Amino acid sequence: MPDPQSWPLSLSFIVPPHSEGFGIGGKLPVPDYLSRLTDYLAAAERAGVTGAFIYDFPVAMDPWLAAFDVLACSTLLQPIIAVRPHQESAESAARRAADLYYRFGRPSHLNLVAGATSPSRPAADLADRQAARQRLAGFASELRTELDRRRAERPLLFTPSSSTPGRVPADCVLLMARPRPALAADIARIRAEQQVDRIAMLVGLLVRPTAELAWLASRTLYPPDRRQQVAGRLFRSQVVSSEHLASYALADQQEVHDELLWYGAPARGIDAPKLVGSPAEVRGWLASCRDLGVTDLIIDLASNPAEYDCLTQLFESGS
């Protein structure tokens, strides 16, 4: 990951799935999937991205196989792979991470998740969330022990923020972007409870030379889409993740928070909120998040690879 004196400490993006759209559509033919994947990977690398988050949704490819494609089709990117403790053992996850490092010479980091929706979680987790949190913590401890035993390049352990109390021993806690007063309060809570220095924030970006052009692009790139709206409602009806529920509550209040934070995309049931504005506006908003304690950034899946070109405008001055 980047020089610890830089900000953000790591800059990641969301890897596109092998389906027609994020959360919807059938599987793409393999040549089309690989072509789209390599376009996104190349654009992300050119923009200085180092991390590639691979989520585990029902319509997504197995995260470990997707990680292999990321490593095979890029030169610098390091996957961050979603791992669920009820699906595999700590020993199995550590072995795969170590073997990927052996094969490609780049670390594969792990994102320890419980599952965002009720179908993705075991019944026992839904019945007792406190016990589920303890199981996730135990899995994290076992995983670190197994990784250390294998003596591979030390990968980072990420885990999403949760409203359920209980420390999960990870290196970085991630949360969705939110209005800055709420962000400050949640970072303080996370730091006190989870005892971590690193906080990653997931946010989308729509950056144009002027604010007017950025807001115009928001309507052009995300027009009303019946399939996305239905998929979003279906996803929302199954969500149990406190991060997603908090985001829904903000979206229901109003479409725009903190001048730039837009919750109006048709697929908002799945997407993170987006910052919409000029480079100076978005840079200033992100700088304020840095001042509140955000150390790492995750850029939500863009509508096309060209959207990552804006990253050089945001971070080239080291702001």
Q: Is the pLDDT of residue 317 over 50?
A: no
pLDDT at 52: 98
Q: Is the pLDDT of residue 115 over 70?
A: no
Stretch 133-154: mean pLDDT: 89
Stretch 25-37: mean pLDDT: 91
- C-alpha 199: how far from chain center: 12
pLDDT at 128: 76
pLDDT at 250: 86
Domain covering 11-315, topology: TIM Barrel (3.20.20)
CB 240 within 8 A of CB 201: no
pLDDT in tens, 87-107: 899 999 999 999 999 999 999
CB 275 within 8 A of CB 204: yes
This prediction has a pTM of 0.90
Give the up-direction half-sphere exposure of residue 171: CA atoms within 13 A in the CB hemisphere: 15
pLDDT at 245: 74
pLDDT at 270: 62
CB 97 within 8 A of CB 68: no
Stretch 13-42: mean pLDDT: 88
CB 214 within 8 A of CB 222: no
